[in-house]
Structure 1
């Protein structure tokens, strides 16, 4: 009975959850530093990890019965769903298998290569062949785990002994290949052989000769036969206009089974289902003459889907169950009015004065003739530059956009500003394009480090240099320094090397702008790929008539601008636009699409919101603490006013997200920049909708939004709107990513509230009124985490369905998937801490909610930049960890240490409800 109590206790639950999270998280680093097989051998597929999963299932089942959870439908359904999902995962793990199928156009195939690696042994003697295989993966980390020894009988009780000797992981660049060494013994004679091979790749066959006996060994994928055949009728690859980037690819196939046939089209996010087999469009032959399909045989699919359904149903029901912890917390918070909302930022939308721009012009431009040119050009070019900005250009990735967008990107990249000398980006770039001999002497290229400024021989107070300042007698003076910086590993680069790399890139962009090579404005006549070319390319590439037209329009426009004949310049722009509409009509943007994108650029909503959120959050935090430490203050009218202001900021953010969606044609959370904007939006959503009665909660929400918006705009993350890769062209992107990423805002809110609570713990001695505030924001914190766990869990498992419907498997232990799983486990741990008496207090909860956010940061940033995987942006060496991260971590732990001495406080809900939950 005692053993049962231990097994079915919440302490055991927390211990098991901690082991699962730590094990999975550590496995991602094993995979990154070694290989996928090592992570699978040592963690994911090892008996110890599977045993923990089984114990967790038993523990959860026992707790369901021990606490009679069926009395609460919501809790019973979502707790039972985890049991169903774990059982279904076991079915998939032990009864399913995966592989790769390659088919050439016009051929029929019923074979595939297994994803799992096998040691395959063939023994040939006197014309007779004996075959044996063993499914086995190896690790180069803890080699004793690899040990095996097999004895194979053949030909009248003769024996072959195959014994493990060594396993090495060979690296060549970013590629990794395993090298297995085994000893083969027959009649006391032993030979050693090395077998190259790994998971997902066919191994090379190697022969050993023992007299009349030949032993053939290989390590890698084996051939599997399907109970039906597939014929590839046609492989189709579509690219974005004028680009090599795939827009989509598809396979037109015929499935042949039991003398029956049917046709099917396999493409991204449309999987072929045949029995328990799933076929996903994975890749294609380099010469585009065949297809590569991922194959998955999964008997656990429907049990898994049933578990996902129960999970979603139960978690949603829990939010509306009046007996749930969630409702008791919201009721507790609703009874208290700590005060509300924010203060507005009145300066966020301020613009730079014209007088300041004039002063910059005088400082940065020394030649008087150049100053005169700039003043005249600024006054006269506005209308023509505006017309020029409305032409359409094609990006390298195939996206069609107004030249206005390209102009802004160029100026921002070169100078770090969106206007200069009182001129907007359209005027600046128009000047660079038409009068490069003037603009090469104008200081518009940003340079930062004093060491680089010293190397260039310029004053340290200067922020910009001219293009000509890096050339002496026609020689590029940064050549050797740029080469050194380029070959230096990213983590070894200092600010000097980083600045050189950036300056070198800016100089290349400047040169390309001078030559017009960035402006792909001329569509190629009768080109099926809808390729657009820069002016010089068009003159050289097009047939004589079209090439001459491009040359006449280009030269005519440039000469008209040089001569300040603005009316004539406008006519040439009209001719270029007419040419675009006639020749490039299939991909040409409409006038409304051009106007919308230009308006979106001019509004610059998100940068202005960044300033508003940061300043508003800081002011709100100060006001909140003033209210907390002066409980007699009850600013009801001010609270309502501030709520209206914050609601307006939230509405502006929502409008901006929707506007970007309209312009890009896809949900605005498909890349790092967009998802940071969305996390900020979800944090403000949490504050405005759920926690509008708490000034501390609202200030925390605004601070979280400000931090993520600040990160999006001031850390080098590219804000450009880009085309989607094929796999993201799915409604699942909208569903899965929106729900999953929204949870980050709630978790960020919980982390800030936890930190605020810890600060108040430090000062609560002799201030009993702080206890009520701590209890209140702790309750709000727990509400935020419950909503966050609901979102991240549903979003993660919906992502599993997307993965299964897209590429035939819903879980592959990819680092991003794994850290999302670690995050779920971590926050489930935090929420269930209250069932263990020593951990059932606001201090422990606040500390845990703050530290748990590290798993979200690792999921979002760490995986992207420090681990490899299908969701990762990291390539080659990881970027160095910023110094400020160490300061933040130190501050967090110092705060926890200082708060620890005043930690004693009971959970308010448990006390209030007599621990009935």
Structure 2
């Protein structure tokens, strides 16, 4: 009876959490926090689950200390959460420069607040935003405060990922006044919940590692299993152009390439003009080149031959609704949408309808097209070409466009140079004077090095970015990996049907595939390293980068385990290829930008990398499940015995599952620590957090085969693991593209 109670409560909580994320999409965050996550019955369900789970665990007479420590950690974490809910106070404190405050506004729930007294007095000395040099991208938000307590005073800096702790109160940088003379600090007091919760976290991290190392644990027993030691899984695998040049004028490739060596303020960072040219061309055409023209040629074409290129069909029609309704071809020109006889800007009326609320596919297509047309218009006006650095009176470097507003105190000679140099370039273009054009470009480069100061990226960073721009890593590697996945699969089928194939040929195929896997892994590592060098942060800040990380993790696991489990080579090629394919074609933005200040934390890097490793391992359990189900269906009715193969695949799946659960659990709760350090709450019931917890809870069922005997049956296990993969898809893609939330980076 108690076992059924635990299972029923466990499933009920999972269903409630998953349902709540959809309700939040429709009714808003405040509604679900009040009616579900903050409701008495939801808290009671967790409390009953904890109580019933403890009783069931004691009655089960579990003797392994690692398992006891692991389950005890969850009970302590829930106790800490309860103490936080009962005793913690959260609020905000608004400070103005020179003013002293001793009270703050605490959140009472239901949107109400009350004014409470701080155990000290605090004043704001100054507030400032620390920018990345030469850009308007914020690197940090900093409040300099003085705390007065018991006759003494101390000075502190409060910034993102740097909190002020004093007398059981913690203060976090939350917001600031528009005039820069005020700051809003989040205030948190949780003297009982945090110590208990952190004790639970520490025990959890220890017990997860202990789970993998325990000689009596399930993971170590798997490694000693006869089926895996005999290599039965190896037996399963064995048994199972010319460019078309148009007449549009363009700068020669080498001359356009020289122009691409200029630096530009783009996406709030200083980068090579080449990067801007590539993004510009991709946004218009969907590729990094156009009919044999490089991205730099396309960019300089629109700058210096604007009329001719505005007639060129360089804009790819993305939306079928707009294409069908307006009877447009697959590629159109800028001038397609400008017609004096039809009122000028032909999609203008539809754009107004979009801004008034028309949100169907057609109007979204129109808005997207307008964004791309405005990009061309702003380029032709010169407002995007912020290539001229100068230092202002405060010592900061600011980058200007030739047609932008220049500082009033700027030297007149310098101002005239900035305003006229593109006119000079245009004159050389019209005169077909390539040497003059190159000479002026060289002078612009020297101007940037002279005036750019610390805002200019270093030589290594520039080199890394140019290498990264030159090689389409995701495009090449997804084709190579998917192709090799199919080849290795075909090779396995060939060996199955040609048992007399010479052994040296099999070794030759194996060595060749291993070499390709190693080369692909090395290339993906280089890709990540280049993005790291360019951005200055570990590349895991957006959907594109996490997909690359997922592919990298899968290849790493495949290489490490290949010698023992030959099936991993095919799995590694196919899965990494699929993730790279998704990164390439899904519309994820591969642009490299500065990360938000709150994301500049080493805990974030550990949090994301561990979760991505877990998802990679869980993806391999999905492949094991699909392989087992496919093999069972193919052999059904043939009289071929499959029991041994199904069990071997179940064991392999479990071999991936144990470290996956360990890394996923550690990743989730390291993220909770980071959140608590950054903004004072370790769990906010954000949809991504909720679904990550659901993944952990769902996959956790598969290792509890004593409590769920059906998990010992291979076919049930494989069906469960295949279906469980839907929770990962929901966590990664469903939240990003449908549910939204703080963790959404679609």
Q: Structure 2 length as normaliser, TM-score?
A: 0.92
Aligned residue runs from structure 1 range 326-475, under 5 A? 326-332=219-225, 333-339=228-234, 353=241, 356-358=242-244, 361=245, 365=246, 370=247, 373=249, 377=251, 381-395=252-266, 397-447=267-317, 452=322, 460=329, 463-473=330-340, 475=344
**1:699 and 2:565 matched:** no
Q: CA deviation at 1:243?
A: 5.0
Q: 2:347 aligns with which of 478, 482, 498?
A: 478
Using the alignment, how far apart are the partners of 2:616 and 2:570 within structure 1? 13
Q: CA deviation at 1:25?
A: 1.9
Q: 1:83 aligns with which of 75, 84, 90?
A: 75
Equivalent pairs counted in the alignment come to 733
Using the alignment, how far apart are the partners of 1:598 and 1:342 within structure 2? 42
Deviation sequence 1:498-546 (CA, Å, 0-9, x none): 5433333322222233333322101244264532122211679755322
SS at match of 1:247: strand
> Do the aligned partners of 1:27 and 1:39 also contact (CA within 8 Å) in 2?
yes
| CA gap 1:430/1:781 in 2 versus in 1, 3 angstroms | same
Q: 1:99 aligns with which of 71, 81, 91?
A: 91
Superposition RMSD in Å = 2.8
| CA gap 1:782/1:12 in 2 versus in 1, 3 angstroms | farther
| CA gap 1:544/1:386 in 2 versus in 1, 3 angstroms | same
> Do the aligned partners of 1:342 and 1:639 also contact (CA within 8 Å) in 2?
no
Q: 1:521 aligns with which of 381, 387, 393?
A: 387
| CA gap 1:681/1:809 in 2 versus in 1, 3 angstroms | same
| CA gap 1:14/1:688 in 2 versus in 1, 3 angstroms | farther
Q: CA deviation at 1:790?
A: 1.0
Aligned residue runs from structure 1 range 835-914, under 5 A? 835-873=707-745
> Do the aligned partners of 1:382 and 1:427 also contact (CA within 8 Å) in 2?
yes
Using the alignment, how far apart are the partners of 2:489 and 2:39 within structure 1? 49
SS at match of 2:233: coil
| CA gap 1:234/1:486 in 2 versus in 1, 3 angstroms | closer
Q: Which residue of structure 2 aligns with residue 62 of structure 1?
A: 55
| CA gap 1:28/1:224 in 2 versus in 1, 3 angstroms | farther
> Do the aligned partners of 1:342 and 1:620 also contact (CA within 8 Å) in 2?
no
**1:279 and 2:171 matched:** yes
> Do the aligned partners of 1:272 and 1:280 also contact (CA within 8 Å) in 2?
yes
Using the alignment, how far apart are the partners of 1:16 and 1:410 within structure 2? 53
| CA gap 1:28/1:631 in 2 versus in 1, 3 angstroms | farther
Q: Which residue of structure 1 aligns with residue 184 of structure 2?
A: 292
Using the alignment, how far apart are the partners of 2:580 and 2:173 within structure 1? 36
Aligned residue runs from structure 1 range 744-783, under 5 A? 744-765=615-636, 766-783=638-655
Using the alignment, how far apart are the partners of 1:309 and 1:455 within structure 2? 60
Q: Which residue of structure 1 aligns with residue 664 of structure 2?
A: 792
Deviation sequence 1:39-66 (CA, Å, 0-9, x none): 2343323333223322332344334434
**1:674 and 2:566 matched:** no
Comparing 720-729 and 520-529, the one that deviates more? 520-529
| CA gap 1:451/1:62 in 2 versus in 1, 3 angstroms | closer
> Do the aligned partners of 2:488 and 2:513 also contact (CA within 8 Å) in 1?
no
Using the alignment, how far apart are the partners of 1:236 and 1:432 within structure 2? 40
Q: CA deviation at 1:241?
A: 4.8
Using the alignment, how far apart are the partners of 1:710 and 1:452 within structure 2? 27
Deviation sequence 1:771-823 (CA, Å, 0-9, x none): 33322222222222222111111011011111111112211212222221122
Using the alignment, how far apart are the partners of 1:23 and 1:860 within structure 2? 19
> Do the aligned partners of 2:69 and 2:204 also contact (CA within 8 Å) in 1?
yes
* Unaligned ranges ≥5, structure 2: none
Using the alignment, how far apart are the partners of 2:656 and 2:497 within structure 1? 24
Deviation sequence 1:328-369 (CA, Å, 0-9, x none): 2233323224339999xxxxxxxxx3xx213xx3xxx4xxxx
Using the alignment, how far apart are the partners of 2:742 and 2:291 within structure 1? 44
Q: Which residue of structure 1 aligns with residue 376 of structure 2?
A: 510
* Unaligned ranges ≥5, structure 1: 1-5, 118-136, 138-197, 199-219, 344-352, 875-917
| CA gap 1:602/1:73 in 2 versus in 1, 3 angstroms | same
Using the alignment, how far apart are the partners of 1:341 and 1:434 within structure 2? 62
Q: Which residue of structure 2 aligns with residue 51 of structure 1?
A: 44
SS at match of 2:385: coil
SS at match of 2:158: strand
Q: Structure 1 length as normaliser, TM-score?
A: 0.75
Q: Which has the larger radius of gyration?
A: 1
Deviation sequence 1:552-584 (CA, Å, 0-9, x none): 422222322332222221221122112212222
**1:731 and 2:623 matched:** no
The structure richer in helix per residue is 2
Q: CA deviation at 1:589?
A: 2.1
Q: CA deviation at 1:277?
A: 1.7
SS at match of 2:125: strand
Using the alignment, how far apart are the partners of 1:114 and 1:302 within structure 2? 21
